[in-house]
Amino acid sequence: MAYDTSNIFARILRGEIPCHKVYEDADAVVFMDVMPQTAGHTLVVPKAPSRNLLDADPAVLAKIIPLVQKVAVAAKAAFNADGISIAQFNESAGGQTVFHLHFHVMPRYEGQPLQIHARQMEDAAVLAANAEKLKAALA
């Protein structure tokens, strides 16, 4: 299936709709997931258009993984996590709901399961505070 430029992350990347932004460089944007599965759930989104990992340019992947690592390390510290889960879904059957490549960085806490994927909207104030915490840890 072809990349659809009207997907919600493409619209965020174009600045058409807001996000709780943590970081941006020439190749990627990092922002808070609005329906977090865990406190501090963050998305690392390459700017280059691809539906997911399956059609991504390997050069884009080579640049994005070090950023995923950087965000994971910062998120573990910022949110006092015991661990971090990284997730990346491909096509509807693979659990994907937004068809622009992204990596989930999810702080994990001993004994705490993940919330259901893309289900419960978080308060904007909580997302804003978490974005600031993560920004500080990345600085």
Q: Which chain residues interact with ligand AMP by CB under 6 A?
A: 8, 19, 33-35, 43, 89, 95-98, 117-118
Nearest approach, Cβ of 26 to ligand AMP (angstroms)? 21
Compare residues 73 and 118 and give the one whose CB is closer to ligand AMP.
118
The yes-or-no answer on residue 104 being catalytic is no
> What 3 state SS string does 49-112 have?
CCCCHHHCCHHHHHHHHHHHHHHHHHHHHHCCCCEEEEECCCCHHHCCCCCCCCEEEEEECCCC
Three-state secondary-structure class, residue 15: coil
Compare residues 77 and 87 and give the one whose CB is closer to ligand AMP.
87
Phi, psi for residue 69 in degrees, rounded to 5: -60, -45
Compare residues 82 and 91 and give the one whose CB is closer to ligand AMP.
91
Catalytically annotated residue among 20, 100, 102, 104: 102
Nearest approach, Cβ of 107 to ligand AMP (angstroms)? 14
Nearest approach, Cβ of 52 to ligand AMP (angstroms)? 8
- Cβ(31)–Cβ(19) below 8 Å: yes
- Cβ(88)–Cβ(102) below 8 Å: yes
Compare residues 96 and 130 and give the one whose CB is closer to ligand AMP.
96
Nearest approach, Cβ of 5 to ligand AMP (angstroms)? 16
Burial class (CB in 10 A: 0-12, 13-18, 19+), 34: middle
Q: Which residues are catalytically annotated? A: 102
